Structure 1
Amino acid sequence: MKMKKSIIYTITTIVSFWFATIGCTPTFGKDFVLVLDAGHGGHDPGAIGNFSREKNINLNIILKVGHLVEQNCNDVKVIYTRKTDVFIPLNQRTEIANNANADLFISVHTNSAPAKAARGTETFSLGLSRSSANLEVAKRENSVILMEDDYKQRYAGFNPNSSESYIMFEFIQDKHMEQSVSLATLIQKQYRSSIGRPDRGVHQDIFLVLKTSAMPSVLTEVGFISNPEEEQYLNTEEGTDALAKSIFNAFQQYKLKHDVRRSKIRVPLRPENETESEVKQSYTVANSEKPDTTKKIVKKEIEVKETKEERGSTPPKEANLIFKIQIISSGKKLKSNDPRFKSLDPVDSYIESGIYKYTYGASENYNEVLRTKRNIAAQFKDAFIIAFKNGEKININAAIAEFKKNRK
């Protein structure tokens, strides 16, 4: 196992170096679609500093990010929500991304605070935060909808300045949370390590511009326009160049992971004497827990053929192979009585890439877990089956193949 990990690490390092030398990695099957969003615009100036406006800083950085991508990544299609000083409603920004079947959405903003000493960068993904400071950032960015004439109808009565309005999102489940957090983390790391910007961390909160996006998405705050020193920096070529390069570098790293995942797509081979009804055909990404349903990947779940006597039986104990149903992912630890579990008991959890992942049901019999998943499908539409061997998560296709082998 250690040797295998070492080989994988070595190969990944070599590939990463090679890709870094030639630019972006090739996307398998189609162009990678990146949507870049410059916050605010037109009659919405955003935060206002001593001599500058947020909308102009955001646009300047976004255009530079886009230029870097267009110059270095031939396989990436860049779409801008705006390239000039115009006002675009929040819901239209995500509509642009959704209609383009985008793979990634990055929104750039500039922060502001009553205290002029506040400084640094922070990046958000969609989620619900208990932090009052994060909520204030979300309120400020969401308040742009008040400039839209029909915002009450368009956003179903949502009041961006009312804390109560955010309660409706208490049980939000973002299927792209892990990828969004991963990108946010890469961006913050670039800010910190490449250009020495103060790191205020990766956070989650309810941003309307992210809420309806059908792909991984982040909102990054590049600095505080309310801080005189940072405002100066945000209005220099050197500052905006450095920030744009940091975002671009993070995008390259993210896309490398994306392409590696896609390159590992495998369709399990079927022996000649085996019919399709006898084996579950699961088209999933190797070492990944589920396919992206927005990309219309077909996933069939067919029980492994068994007799009435075998139904409910399990493979030999020495297999140490366990199937579970993943029902929820969360950026924070949830209490055992959390309403999101909908009275399921017992619920187990594990941590992967800093994300808490909660599971229900555990059995060495894949068919038993599959039947349980179908029973809870109405409550958990996005639930999917995962597998562990000797306590380590493994590819589901390999697990099913082993389950079948153990039954012979």
Structure 2
Amino acid sequence: MNKISTIAIDIGHNVQFDGGALGIKSENVLNFEVGTKLIEKCRAVGINVINCTPKSAVSLYDSLNKRVEAANNRNADFFISIHHNACAGGHGTEILCIPGGKAEEVANIILPEIVKLGFSNRGVKPRNDLFVLNKTNMSAILIECAFCDSKRDMQNYDTEKVAEAIFQGLYKAFNISKTTEVYHIVAPGDTLWALTRKYGTTINNIVTLNNIKNINLICPGQKLRMK
């Protein structure tokens, strides 16, 4: 499969008039955490990421349309929408797409990676009625990572592992070449010690690579080289 240079990632819901499901955990929160981590992982290996999540919306249609326009206007190569299911008694992972072509092929590579975490495999399902799948110019999938109202799914749910599973699926699907340089965009609450655990490096190495003068002072939005 052809490699990608630009991917559109849509963090489902998370805006007025377009709220997510409520369960044991909030879909909005789970979508945001998984989507943010996935964006970070893709950018760390040099993929240009378009975050399609709108900052505001005046209606559900406006919310969905802004997501699609963000991807279409910047000519993304592929589109992923991150969601979590809710249905009393349901559990597991599924990926929705318009059947046939690249979308279904990629979905069938990503899904097993998420299932490895212990979720039931609900399959790759054809959906021709979803706005973000129909209106994007590029191939698109919608991932229902798990059921936010399922005790079985939420008991050991780990957003980092889910994001990594999706990334590993993308890595395999598009033969992504990891760059020798790995970067991290500092988020609120980040510390150098926490970053050493996340990236398998040392504080001294981060300090040297980034010419940091004060190890207790890193700022949100700051781009740090990890390796």
| Cα distance, 1:82 vs structure 2 | 2.3
How many residue pairs match? The answer is 169
Work out the CA distance in 1 between the residues paired with 2:170 and 2:42: 9
Tell me the percent identity.
Answer: 28
Work out the CA distance in 2 between the residues paired with 1:226 and 1:233: 13
| Cα distance, 1:231 vs structure 2 | 3.1
1:210 lines up with 2:210 in the alignment: no
Q: Which amino acid aligns with 1:202?
A: V
Aligned residue in 2 for 1:110:
84
1:189 lines up with 2:112 in the alignment: yes
Work out the CA distance in 1 between the residues paired with 2:19 and 2:155: 17
| Cα distance, 1:89 vs structure 2 | 1.0
**Are 1:69 and 1:248, in contact at CA under 8 Å, matched by a contact in 2?**
yes
**Are 2:107 and 2:141, in contact at CA under 8 Å, matched by a contact in 1?**
yes
- Name which structure has the greater RCO, CA cutoff 8 Å, separation 6+: 2
1:256 lines up with 2:175 in the alignment: yes
Aligned residue in 1 for 2:161:
242
Work out the CA distance in 1 between the residues paired with 2:52 and 2:163: 17
3-state SS of paired residue (2:67): helix
| Cα distance, 1:114 vs structure 2 | 2.7
Alignment of 1:5-404 (within 5 A): 32-43=5-16, 44-50=18-24, 52-71=25-44, 73-74=45-46, 76-82=47-53, 86-87=56-57, 89-115=63-89, 118-127=90-99, 177-193=100-116, 195-205=117-127, 206-234=129-157, 239-256=158-175
Show CA shifts across 1:106-134 (max 9, x none).
0010001132xx2110001125xxxxxxx
| Cα distance, 1:42 vs structure 2 | 2.4
| Cα distance, 1:45 vs structure 2 | 2.5
Cα 1:53/1:60, change in 2 over 3 Å: same
Show CA shifts across 1:206-246 (max 9, x none).
21111011111100101111212323444xxxx11111011
Q: Which amino acid aligns with 1:252?
A: Y
Give structure 1 regions of 4+ aligned residues with deviation exceeding 6 angstroms: none
Cα 1:226/1:41, change in 2 over 3 Å: same
Cα 1:47/1:80, change in 2 over 3 Å: same
Residue ranges of structure 1 left out of the alignment (5+ in a row): 1-24, 128-176, 258-408
**Are 1:60 and 1:240, in contact at CA under 8 Å, matched by a contact in 2?**
yes
User: What value does the CA root-mean-square deviation take over the aligned residues?
Assistant: 2.1
Residue ranges of structure 2 left out of the alignment (5+ in a row): 177-227
Work out the CA distance in 2 between the residues paired with 1:64 and 1:83: 17
| Cα distance, 1:178 vs structure 2 | 1.3
Work out the CA distance in 2 between the residues paired with 1:251 and 1:35: 12
Cα 1:243/1:89, change in 2 over 3 Å: same
Work out the CA distance in 1 between the residues paired with 2:68 and 2:150: 30
3-state SS of paired residue (1:89): helix
Taking structure 1 as the reference length, what is the TM-score of the superposition? 0.39
Compare CA radii of gyration and give the structure with the larger one.
1
Q: Which amino acid aligns with 1:53?
A: S
Work out the CA distance in 1 between the residues paired with 2:165 and 2:71: 22
Aligned residue in 1 for 2:184:
none
**Are 1:120 and 1:199, in contact at CA under 8 Å, matched by a contact in 2?**
yes
